[in-house]
């Protein structure tokens, strides 16, 4: 079986894309973003599946089950990125290689957005590139899975 399954996980408030500050998040909805990511993945020979939750426990439990369904993950945990050590622990537990993505440029916003609980755990971090950031993340994953094979 080829190692090409990528779980794309969006956390808290990302279901509200399309209505959030366009200066940071553009105008696309989560469904539109997921369609775009699905196309990027197909171009790269990857298979994307999607998950979003506003409930931290649900997000954690999805991470627990990740090894059964994915070879790699893209995680945009929204604000949880900046303080949820529970989500970091769950990703570490999963052992699934992950790239952290942010739509906005978290390095140029409030100080608290510069902190990431995923530091040192993820194989890559992409931010401030809107939809294109997900393509970059998928390219990193394709390279990583290719190296592992
Ligand atoms: C975000 C950045 C976070 O700081 C913020 O809380 C979000 C979205 C992004 O994609 O830019 O909800 O993860």
* Predicted local distance difference test score (pLDDT) of residue 8: 98
Structural domain including 128 reads 5-148
**pTM for this predicted structure:** 0.97
Helix, strand, coil share (%) of the chain residues, nearest 5:
50, 15, 35
- How many folded domains does the chain comprise? 1
Tell which residue, 60, 90, 76, has the closest CA to residue 10. 76
Q: Residue 29 and residue 17: Cα distance in Å, rounded?
A: 5
85 CA to centre of ligand 1 in angstroms: 16
The pLDDT, as a whole number, for residue 1 is 61
Closest CA to 11 of 52, 48, 64: 52
The predicted structure's pLDDT at residue 17: 98
Atom of ligand 1 nearest to the CA of 14: 12
Q: In angstroms, what CA-CA distances link 43 with 33, 87, 100?
A: 16, 30, 20
What is the rounded CA–CA span in Å between residue 97 and residue 35?
Answer: 22
pLDDT of residue 137: 98
Q: Which of 25, 127, 134, 144 is catalytic?
A: 25
**Average pLDDT of the segment spanning 14-19:** 97
24 is catalytic: no
Mean pLDDT for the stretch of residues 20-31: 96
Active site residue 55: no
Q: What is the pLDDT of residue 2?
A: 73
Contacts of 110 (CB under 8 A, 6+ apart): none
How confident is the model over 86-126, as pLDDT tens digits?
999 999 999 999 999 999 999 999 999 999 999 999 999 99
In this structure, what CATH number is given to the domain that contains residue 143?
3.40.50.9100
């Amino acid at each position: 079986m080829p190692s090409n399954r990528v779980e794309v996980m969006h956390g808290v408030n990302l279901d509200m894309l399309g209505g959030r500050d366009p200066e940071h998040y553009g105008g696309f909805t989560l469904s539109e973003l997921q369609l775009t990511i699905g196309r990027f993945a197909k171009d790269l020979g990857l298979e994307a599946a999607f998950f979003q939750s506003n409930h931290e426990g649900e997000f954690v439990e999805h991470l627990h089950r990740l090894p059964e369904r994915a070879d790699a993950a893209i995680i945009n945990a929204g604000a949880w990125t900046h303080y949820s050590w529970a989500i970091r622990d769950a990703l570490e537990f999963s052992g699934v290689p992950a790239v952290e993505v942010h739509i906005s440029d978290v390095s140029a916003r409030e100080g608290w957005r510069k902190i990431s609980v995923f530091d040192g755990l993820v194989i890559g971090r992409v931010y401030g590139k809107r939809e294109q950031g997900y393509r970059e993340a998928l390219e990193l994953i394709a390279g990583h899975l290719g190296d592992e094979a």
